[in-house]
Amino acid sequence: MRGEIVSADTKLVVKTLNTLVRWTCELNFGTAIERPVFKMWREEDVDEAQANRDKTLADTGQIRFKKQYWMREYSFEEGDIEEVVPASQGATVPPADFTEGNAQKPEFPDQTAIDEAGAKVSAPSALQSAMEAMLRPYIELIGNGASYEVVMEKLATTYPQMKPDQLATLLERAIFAAETWGRIHAQS
């Protein structure tokens, strides 16, 4: 019974997703293209007892399974597995480079400089006042609106009262500074 329910649910999901794919393709490309088809697949269950046993045996260091075993038992295909030469057979592993001592040196000094400049150019109080000035008509409209419908009706007439000039000037300066900094350091 459980299998039938899973099968029915799978068919429902596949049908729904294929309908969405068809609509998207028709809307964007028309009916002239061949659209992709969504299919569900079920992964074969791996025997967890066998997987745990294999891991335990391999961890002892006394047993080393060959590539053919892994491919046969776990349904790998050719090219899925690459054999690794253990370090004891001559492969040298370079020592790990832990750079905790270089914590004071930023990884991207140019980005740090831009961030610092941005903090100076666009002080939070300046941005806050620019946003408040620009959004004041909307805030007043919402505060004085009797209902959602009234607010929506007056919204279109309120838009021309917005004054984004101060905010636009702040953003233009910040973008100009960032682009100039980037160009200077990209050339050097």
pLDDT reading at 19 higher than 90: yes
133 contact partners, CB below 8 Å, separation of at least 6: 163, 166, 167
Taking residue 130's Cβ as centre, other Cβ atoms within 10 Å add up to 20
Q: Output the pLDDT for position 106.
A: 54
Tens of pLDDT along 103-151? 555 577 777 777 776 666 556 677 777 777 777 777 887 888 778 788 7
Q: How far apart are CA 30 and CA 22, in angstroms?
A: 10
Per mean pLDDT, which range of 27-36, 97-106, 169-178 is the poorest?
97-106
Which residue ranges make up each domain of the chain? 1-42, 46-84, 109-187
Q: Output the pLDDT for position 100.
A: 54
Q: How far apart are CA 124 and CA 158, in angstroms?
A: 26
Q: Output the pLDDT for position 20.
A: 92
Quick one: what percent of the chain has pLDDT higher than 90?
5
Tens of pLDDT along 145-182? 778 788 777 777 776 666 677 667 777 877 887 788 77
170 contact partners, CB below 8 Å, separation of at least 6: 121, 122, 126, 127, 130
53, with CB counted inside 10 A (0-12, 13-18, 19+), is exposed
Between 77 and 37, the higher pLDDT residue: 37
User: Cβ distance 38 to 23 under 8 Å?
Assistant: no
Residue ranges in the chain assigned as alpha helix (H): 2-29, 48-59, 67-74, 109-121, 124-144, 148-158, 165-187
